[in-house]
C-alpha cells in the first residue's frame, strides 16, 4: 500500500497524518524527514502492543536516547494518577520542551499522553502513533486531550495538537474483535453526520471492514480521517460546528460513567449504543424519517453491534444516566443539548431538552 498523507491545517497548527503499513519501523526516520528534532524521547506504550513490534520500534531509534513507560490502558486508569506518573518520569529524566513524547497505543494512551505533553513545561513536542481502529479513525486527530474523574468522562483536558500522526494499519492485526467493533462505531458515526455515499459504502462492505480486509479497511480509515479533518479545521476549539462530532456521545459518555467505566461497556460500544439512542430520539421527535431510521437500525442489528439499552441498564439507572448527561461538558446548565439526525449525512443541533423530557424517553426504551 502506498503511504497516504493527510495534512491538517487549523488556525494554530499544521501537521501531517501518515497512513500506511510497516510504518512504525521507520518512526525515527519519519520524524527526521519532518524536521522534528529532539535530544531524548519518552515512548508511552500501551502494554498490549505486541513485544515484537515494540522491539522493532526500539531498533528504529538506534543512537537516540529513548525511555519507555508502559501504560495499562483502561478508562479507570485514564486519570490524574497516571498523568502524575508520566510527569514524574519526564521530570526525573530532566526532559526539556525541545524533547519529545510519543504515544504508542489506543485512544486512552493517546489522550493521557497528549494531556501530559500539553502541561509539561507548558508544552512538550507530541507525536501520536495510534494502534487501535478507533484511535486511527478518530482520537488521534484534532488535538483533544483528556482524563476522567468521578464527575464524568474527559472533564479535565486541553486542546493540544500532535506534531505528527503515524497510522500503521498493521497494528490492527493484534487488536481484539471487540476493539475492531469499537472503531467501527466511530467510522459509522462519521458517515452518518457527513457523507451518505460513505454510509452506503459501509452498508455494502461492513463485514469486510470488520474482518480488516484490504482495501476496505484502508478506505474506511482514510474516509473517516477526512471527515474528522473537515470538522477540526473549521472549528478547532469546538465552539460550534465541531460539536456535531459529538453525535451519539452525550448518551455514550453518560452510559460509560453510569457503569463506572467498567469494561462491560467500552467507549466505542457506548458510542454505538449512543447512536442507537440518538437516532431513536431523532425519529420520535419527528426529525429523522422512518426510511433512514430503519436503515441505520438494520445496519446496527445485522452486524450485531450493541443496540439494546436494556442489556446494560434498568429503569433504576435512569436518574444516574440523566445526572451524567446534564454534567456533560457540552451542556451549559441543567438543560441537555443533543446532536441529532435529520437524515443520513445531515445532522442537526437540537433545541435543549429538560431532564424530565429525557426521562420519559428512557422509560419508554427500557420498558419496550
Ligand atoms: N481525543 C479525542 O478526540 C477522542 C475521540 C474519540 C475517542 N477518544 C477516547 O478514546 C478512548 C478509546 O480509545 P480505544 O478504543 O482505542 O481504547 P483503548 O486505548 O483502551 O484501547 C483498547 C484496547 O486495545 C488494547 N490495544 C491497543 N493497541 C493494541 C494493539 N495494537 N494490539 C493489541 N491490543 C491493543 C488496549 O490495551 C486496550 O485494551 C476513550 O477514552 C475515548 O474517550 C478520544
Each residue of 53-104: pLDDT tens digit? 999 999 999 889 999 999 999 999 999 999 999 999 999 999 999 999 999 9
Residues 315, 209, single domain; the answer is: yes
Tell me the C-alpha to C-alpha distance, in Å, between residue 350 and each of 252, 340, 342.
17, 6, 10
Q: Render pLDDT for 273-316 as a digit per residue (tens, 0 to 9).
A: 999 999 999 999 999 999 999 999 999 999 999 999 999 999 99
Q: What CATH number is associated with residue 261?
A: 1.20.1090.10
Residues 241, 320, single domain; the answer is: yes
What is the CA(308)–ligand 1 centre distance, in A? 23
Residue with CA at minimum distance from ligand 1 atom 9: 107
| DSSP element (H, E) containing 309 | none
Sign, CA dihedral 182-317-347-243, equals negative
Q: Ligand 1: does its nearest atom lie under 6 Å from the Cβ of 138?
A: yes
Last residue of one domain, picked from the residues 131, 154, 174: 174
The answer to whether 60 and 24 have CB atoms below 8 angstroms apart is: yes
The answer to whether 362 and 318 have CB atoms below 8 angstroms apart is: yes
Residues 6+ apart with CB under 8 A from 127: 27, 31, 36, 100, 101, 102, 103, 162, 163, 164, 165, 166
What is the CA(107)–ligand 1 centre distance, in A? 4
Residues 37, 118, single domain; the answer is: yes
Residues 266, 189, single domain; the answer is: yes
Q: Ligand 1: does its nearest atom lie under 6 Å from the Cβ of 108?
A: yes
The answer to whether 165 and 140 have CB atoms below 8 angstroms apart is: yes
Q: Ligand 1: does its nearest atom lie under 6 Å from the Cβ of 140?
A: no
For residue 9, pLDDT beyond 70 = yes
For residue 352, pLDDT beyond 80 = yes
The answer to whether 321 and 313 have CB atoms below 8 angstroms apart is: yes
Residues 43, 122, single domain; the answer is: yes
Number of separate domains in the chain? 2
Cα–Cα dist 3/282, whole Å: 39
Residues 141, 40, single domain; the answer is: yes
Residue with CA at minimum distance from ligand 1 atom 41: 108
Residues 60, 156, single domain; the answer is: yes
For residue 317, pLDDT beyond 90 = yes
**For residue 143, which phi and psi values (nearest 5 degrees)?**
75, 15
- Whole-model pTM: value is 0.96
Q: Render pLDDT for 195-243 as a digit per residue (tens, 0 to 9).
A: 999 999 999 999 999 999 999 999 999 999 999 999 999 988 888 889 9
Residues 6+ apart with CB under 8 A from 12: 161, 236
For residue 334, pLDDT beyond 80 = no
Ligand 1 atom closest to Cα of 50? Answer: 32
Residues 111, 167, single domain; the answer is: yes
Give the pLDDT of residue 239.
87
Residues 111, 241, single domain; the answer is: no
The answer to whether 90 and 113 have CB atoms below 8 angstroms apart is: no
Residues 237, 317, single domain; the answer is: yes
Residue 150 — very low, low, confident or very high, per pLDDT cuts 50/70/90? confident
What is the CA(271)–ligand 1 centre distance, in A? 13
Q: Rg of the Cα trace of the chain?
A: 20
Residues 123, 193, single domain; the answer is: no
Bridge-based pairing of strands 65-71 and 100-105 is unpaired
Residue 333 — very low, low, confident or very high, per pLDDT cuts 50/70/90? low
Give the pLDDT of residue 331.
60
Mutate to test the pocket of ligand 1, among 52, 106, 266 (most ligand atoms within 8 A of CB): 106
Residue 328 — very low, low, confident or very high, per pLDDT cuts 50/70/90? confident
Q: What is the mean pLDDT of the chain?
A: 95
Tell me the C-alpha to C-alpha distance, in Å, between residue 325 and each of 32, 185, 196, 213, 248.
44, 20, 28, 37, 12
Sheet strands (E) in the chain: 4-9, 14-20, 40-46, 65-71, 100-105, 125-130, 147-149, 152-156, 164-168, 339-343, 346-349
Q: What CATH number is associated with residue 122?
A: 3.40.50.1970
Q: Ligand 1: does its nearest atom lie under 6 Å from the Cβ of 152?
A: no
Sign, CA dihedral 264-268-272-277, equals positive
- Residue 9: how many other CB atoms lie within 10 Å: 12
Last residue of one domain, picked from the residues 174, 194, 211: 174
Residues 259, 345, single domain; the answer is: yes
Last residue of one domain, picked from the residues 174, 195, 215: 174
Ligand 1 atom closest to Cα of 111? Answer: 1
For cell 519518552, name the residue. 42
Cα–Cα dist 248/256, whole Å: 12
Q: Ligand 1: does its nearest atom lie under 6 Å from the Cβ of 105?
A: yes
Domain residue limits at 238: 178-367
Amino acid at each position: 500500500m502506498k503511504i497516504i498523507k493527510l495534512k491538517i491545517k487549523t488556525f494554530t497548527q499544521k501537521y501531517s497524518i501518515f497512513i500506511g503499513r510497516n510504518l512504525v519501523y521507520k518512526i525515527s526516520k519519519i520524524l527526521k524527514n519532518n524536521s522534528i528534532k529532539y535530544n531524548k524521547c519518552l515512548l508511552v506504550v500501551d502494554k498490549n502492543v505486541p513485544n515484537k513490534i515494540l522491539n522493532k520500534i526500539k531498533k528504529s531509534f538506534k543512537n537516540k536516547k529513548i525511555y519507555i513507560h508502559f501504560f495499562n490502558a483502561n478508562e479507570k486508569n485514564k486519570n490524574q494518577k497516571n498523568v502524575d506518573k508520566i510527569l514524574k518520569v519526564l521530570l526525573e529524566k530532566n526532559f526539556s520542551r525541545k524533547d519529545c513524547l510519543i504515544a504508542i497505543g489506543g485512544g486512552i494512551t493517546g489522550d493521557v499522553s497528549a494531556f501530559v505533553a500539553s502541561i509539561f513545561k507548558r508544552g512538550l513536542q507530541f507525536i501520536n502513533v495510534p494502534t487501535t481502529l478507533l484511535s486511527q479513525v478518530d482520537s488521534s486527530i484534532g488535538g483533544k486531550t483528556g482524563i476522567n474523574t468521578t464527575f464524568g468522562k474527559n472533564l479535565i483536558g486541553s486542546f493540544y495538537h500532535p506534531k505528527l500522526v503515524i497510522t500503521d494499519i498493521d497494528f490492527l492485526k493484534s487488536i481484539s474483535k471487540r476493539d475492531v467493533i469499537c472503531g467501527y462505531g466511530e467510522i459509522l458515526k462519521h458517515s452518518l453526520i457527513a457523507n451518505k455515499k460513505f454510509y452506503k459504502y459501509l452498508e455494502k462492505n461492513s463485514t469486510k471492514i470488520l474482518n480488516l480486509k484490504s482495501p476496505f479497511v484502508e478506505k474506511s480509515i482514510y474516509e473517516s480521517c477526512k471527515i474528522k479533518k473537515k470538522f477540526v479545521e473549521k472549528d478547532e476549539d469546538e465552539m460550534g460546528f465541531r460539536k456535531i462530532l459529538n453525535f451519539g456521545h452525550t448518551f455514550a459518555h453518560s452510559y460509560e460513567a453510569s457503569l463506572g467505566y467498567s469494561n462491560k461497556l467500552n467507549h466505542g460500544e457506548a458510542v454505538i449504543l449512543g447512536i442507537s439512542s440518538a437516532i431513536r430520539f431523532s425519529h420520535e421527535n419527528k426529525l429523522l424519517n422512518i426510511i433512514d431510521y430503519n436503515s441505520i437500525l438494520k445496519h446496527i442489528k445485522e452486524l450485531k453491534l450493541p443496540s439494546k439499552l436494556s442489556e446494560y441498564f434498568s429503569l433504576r439507572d435512569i436518574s444516574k444516566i440523566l445526572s451524567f448527561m446534564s454534567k456533560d461538558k457540552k451542556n451549559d446548565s441543567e438543560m441537555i443539548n443533543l446532536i441529532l439526525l435529520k437524515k443520513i449525512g445531515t445532522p442537526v443541533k437540537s433545541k435543549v431538552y429538560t431532564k424530565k423530557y429525557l426521562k420519559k424517553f428512557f422509560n419508554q426504551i427500557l420498558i419496550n
